[in-house]
Structure 1
Amino acid sequence: MAQLIFFTGPMNSGKSTLALQTDFTETQAGRSGRVFSRDDRAGEATLSSRIGLEQPAIEVTDELDFWSYVIRELTQGRRVDYLICDEAHFYTPDHIDQLARVVDELQLDVYCFAILTDFRTELFPATRRLVELCDRMELLQVRPRCWCGEPATHNARTVDGVMVTEGDQVMVGDVVPSEDRVVAYEVLCRRHHRRRMTAAVAAVTMNPEPLPFE
């Protein structure tokens, strides 16, 4: 039976690396798939990993309809056995419904790779829909660590080095936008995300672990 599988974990847990590995493994077995991504840090129509691996991908836009795309490929005689969907947190809920239909009605495996929550600790609309519809959700076993050494569970956004908890939900990091603000991301444990204590703040704070009461 084909499945819609949702692989998730915080930033730096190896989601894109696993997406690349999954495509390679499926290809080695003689299967033919399509690789999709959206707003990848390396640029449009690319699936890239922070460890330096990358390959071309089909860029997902709001207008893309996965069901129509796969039907068109199949009716034109091109083989499709599976879909790799990276950066799926940037997709729309409609995209996820389309992917579920591809699994159920065409019996194609769909592998989605995405962050579960945003920098505000809120679910992305697409990942909420993935949780509702997926056949299986897998938490990646590679666990990044907060600067304190504890397992990191939350993604923090910094603007000019200062952690923020407000702003647009989608903003690609490690860039310098037109207003010359440097946007970056850092993984933190829940405790330090709550305290807005990034590695930079901890480095300049005499007592980085305040008492938990006034």
Structure 2
Amino acid sequence: MAELVFFCGTMDCGKSTLALQMHHNHTARGRGGVLFTRDDRAGEHRLSSRLGLSVPAHEVTDATDFWDEVVARRTRGEAVDFLICDEAQFYSAAQVEQLGRVVDDLDVDVFAFGITTDFRTRLFAGSARLLALADRVETLQVQALCWCGARATHNARTVHGVMVVEGEQVVIGDVAVAADDDAVGYEVLCRRHHRLQVTALSSHAGSMSPQTLDMLAED
């Protein structure tokens, strides 16, 4: 019986690497699959891993209908036994519902990969619907680490290495952005340091704001 499975975790915990590995494992056994992604760090029509792997993928847009995608491929005679859906947090709630219908009515396995919450610790629409509809939710076992060594549970958005708490929900960036770069970056933090807004850069006492030092003193 086909399943809708949601693999989730913070940034930097190997979601895209697992997505590529699962695609390889299933195709190696003769199953036909389709890779989907949205707003990957490598650009449109790519699914990439921080380990350096990057493969072509179908770009999901607001207009993508997964039911139509699978039906069209099968009508052309293509075998579609499973879907790999990376960056699923960026999908709409309606698109996640389409994935559920693909599983139930077309007997296609759907393996979705994504982070659950944004830089403000608010659920993404796609992730919220996946948590509600998935047959299984798997938290990835590869633990990303905060700069302090604790398990990272939250995604922080940074500019010049300093955490920001306002802005659009979706701004594409990566965890490898240098502190002196003007681009938006991301850093994974434990709950405590996300709450205190202490990044790796601001963890050095000389760069902490007085307000942060006061908060740490009171903690």
TM-score by length of structure 1 reads 0.94
Cα separation, 2, equivalents of 1:182 and 1:64: 29
Gaps of 5+ in 1: none
Residue of structure 2 equivalent to 1:185: 186
**Structure 2 CA distance for aligned equivalents of residues 159 and 91 of structure 1:** 25
**Runs ≥4 residues deviating over 3 A:** 204-209
Partners of 1:45 and 1:206 in 2: CA distance: 40
Q: Deviations over 1:128-169 (max 9, x none)?
A: 000010000000000011000000000000123221111100
Contact conserved, 2:85 with 2:111, CA < 8 A, in 1? Answer: yes
Match in the other structure for 1:116: 116
Which runs of structure 2 are paired with 1:163-174 in the superposition (5 Å)? 163-174=163-174
SS in structure 2 of the partner of residue 64 of structure 1: coil
Corresponding residue number in structure 2 for 1:211 = 217
Residue equivalent to 2:197: 196
User: Aligned equivalents of 2:35 and 2:207: distance in 1?
Assistant: 48
Q: Is the 8 A contact 1:7 1:137 kept in 2?
A: yes
Match for residue 13 of structure 2? 13
**Counterparts of 1:74 and 1:100, CA distance in 2:** 17
**Structure 1 partner of 2:132:** 132
| 3-state secondary structure, aligned to 2:171 | coil
CA distance in 1, matches of 2:48, 2:207: 38
What amino acid does structure 1 have at the position aligned with 2:41?
R
Question: How many matched pairs?
Answer: 210
| Cα distance in 2, alignment partners of residues 44 and 193 from structure 1 | 30
The separation in 2 between residues aligned to 1:30 and 1:154, in whole angstroms, is 38
Q: Secondary structure at the match of 1:13?
A: coil
**Long gaps (5+) in structure 2:** none
Structure 1 residue 205 displacement after superposition: 3.8
The residue number in structure 2 matching 1:162 is 162
Question: What amino acid is the match of 2:14?
Answer: G
Partner SS state of residue 199, structure 1: coil
Q: What do you get for the CA RMSD once the two structures are aligned? A: 1.8
Q: 8 Å contact 1:92–1:126 — kept in the other structure?
A: yes
Contact 1:116 1:127 in 2 (8 A): yes
Say yes or no: does 1:142 pair with 2:148. no
Look up the match of 1:95: 95
> In 1, distance between residues paired with 2:154 and 2:199?
11
